[in-house]
Amino acid sequence: MKHCDLVIIGGGPAGLAAAAAAREAGVEDILLLERDTELGGILNQCIHSGFGLHTFQEELTGPEYAQRYIQKVRELAIPCLLDTMVLEISPERVVTAVNTREGLFQLQAGAVILAMGCRERARGSLNIPGFRPAGIYSAGTAQRLVNMEGFLPGKEVVILGSGDIGLIMARRMTLEGAHVQVVAELMPYSGGLKRNIVQCLDDFDIPLKLSHTVVDIQGRERVTGVTLAQVDENRRPIPGTEEHYDCDTLLLSCGLIPENELSRGAGVEISPVTNGPVVDESLETSVPGVFACGNVLHVHDLVDFVSQEAEQAGRRAARFLQKGEERGRTVQLVAGKGVRYTVPARVDPRRMDKELTVRFRVDNVYKNAAVVVSAEGEILRRKKKLILTPGEMEEIRLRREELLEHPEWEKIEISLEVAP
């Protein structure tokens, strides 16, 4: 079997940044496997702007942002196999993949970086009753059809879910001549970025109905209409609040799920909260030598943070290849009150960088709250926040010094202090 020091699965923003960082950290033998015929991943269909404000202090489109990293990977001459699907990763890091040129092949990897991204929640898993006609698309599929293939999936549109892709597609479909009647959101708040609500809905007079869901889909061949209803605090439709919309298309933007079928096959421990691998400060999963970054790890709000995280995974995979397995005492990071999860979930103080960024999401909308980092009852940091929403990723930093100074700490908790 052929050997390869570092195999990276996925050539989207995470895989590209990880590859470049690993090479810069001294890994010569890298192979990136991408299932599409081009590098760049989902960014290629995100032709709107707003990418790269943090990384490049510029407002780029998705393809432009991707191109910066593709360029870098090309300059570093990192080999990439395109149109190649990985079928399996074993716990021993044997990667089985297939394409039309090499056929079916296996590689023994020294280290693996998981960068497969995420997928959209489909209609089936949302339990929406009704018929199953044509015209029901996930927002991302519609985005691909419109932006990459040049087709209009529908003309009279209702959107369920106010995730960022749904918001972006409300604007995009409008610009393409479709009529977006309404965006319904099950939760009492939007799951998308504030700026997208303003730029994609408000600017186009598209109403956003919070605490609403689709309770029926009509149409035997093509969608002919949907029924919305308001939901109560338990997210159950309230009888009598039904409203009918004549439409030919229903777009769904109801959440993203990290794509971890390969990770599970490799025996990687998956968090039931993020649906992504449980990782440590090196972004190493429960399987030694297998690292994860980007949306396969947890769904991000901005690609800039994906790139940052992926660079860390690349550097850490390089370190693993150079130093071998190093597992020592770890400190657990605990998601406390108001916090859904933290990435990473544990930290080895001896391995961590001088400063470590911990990312997390909150479980509701909070105003005038504070993020509190504490250990053994001692408050390490308190950061005041005017507003916290589930749609935006938050971060705090941990310093290696303070962790080394306190070998007795077993847990560090990140929680919210909410004004009464």
Residues that bind another protein (CB under 8 A): 35, 83, 85, 87, 98-104, 119-120, 122-125, 127, 129-135, 137-138, 140-141, 144-146, 149-155, 176-177, 215-218, 220-222, 237, 248-249, 261, 264
Taking the least distance from each CB to another protein, the nearer of 128 and 197 is: 128
In which residue are the tokens 């009509």 written? Answer: 218
Nearest Cα neighbor of 17 from 57, 76, 94 is 76
* CB 174, min distance to another protein, A: 12
Nearer to another protein, 141 or 274 (CB): 141
Kindly state the smallest distance separating residue 395's Cβ from another protein, in Å: 29
Shortest CB 133 distance to another protein, Å: 6
Whether residue 98 contacts residue 87, with contact meaning beta carbons closer than 8 Å, is answered with yes
Nearer to another protein, 215 or 339 (CB): 215
In 3D, which of 227, 223, 244 has the Cα closest to residue 155?
A: 223
**Tokens read off for 205:** 């007079």
Least CB distance to another protein at residue 371 (A): 30
Rounded to whole angstroms, the Cα distance separating 99 from 22 reads 25
Q: Are 234 and 251 in contact (CB under 8 A)?
A: no
Do strands 2-9 and 30-33 pair parallel, antiparallel, or not at all (unpaired)?
parallel
Between 150 and 328, CB nearer to another protein: 150
Look at residue 128 and give its three-state secondary structure.
Answer: coil
Complex with another protein: residue 249 or 308, whichever CB lies closer = 249
Angle between helices 62-75 and 303-323 (to 10 degrees): 20
Q: Are 248 and 155 in contact (CB under 8 A)?
A: yes
Q: How far is the CB of 389 from another protein (least distance, A)?
A: 25
Cβ pair 6, 22 in contact under 8 A: yes
**Is 414:336 a contact under the CB 8 Å cutoff?**
yes
Shortest Cβ distance from residue 218 to another protein (Å)?
Answer: 8
Minimum gap (Å) between residue 122 Cβ and another protein: 4
Nearest CA to 6 out of 323, 321, 325, 326 is that of 321
The residue (of 163 and 344) whose beta carbon lies closer to another protein is 163
Take residue 41 and report the two structure tokens written for it.
Answer: 């991943």
Choice between 221 and 325, CB closer to another protein: 221
CB 379 within 8 A of CB 301: no
Please, what is the minimum distance in Å from the beta carbon of residue 136 to another protein?
9
Tell whether the torsion through CA atoms of 359, 362, 367 and 373 is positive or negative. negative
CB nearer to another protein: pick between 149 and 325: 149
Q: Phi and psi dihedrals of 299, rounded to 5?
A: -75, 125
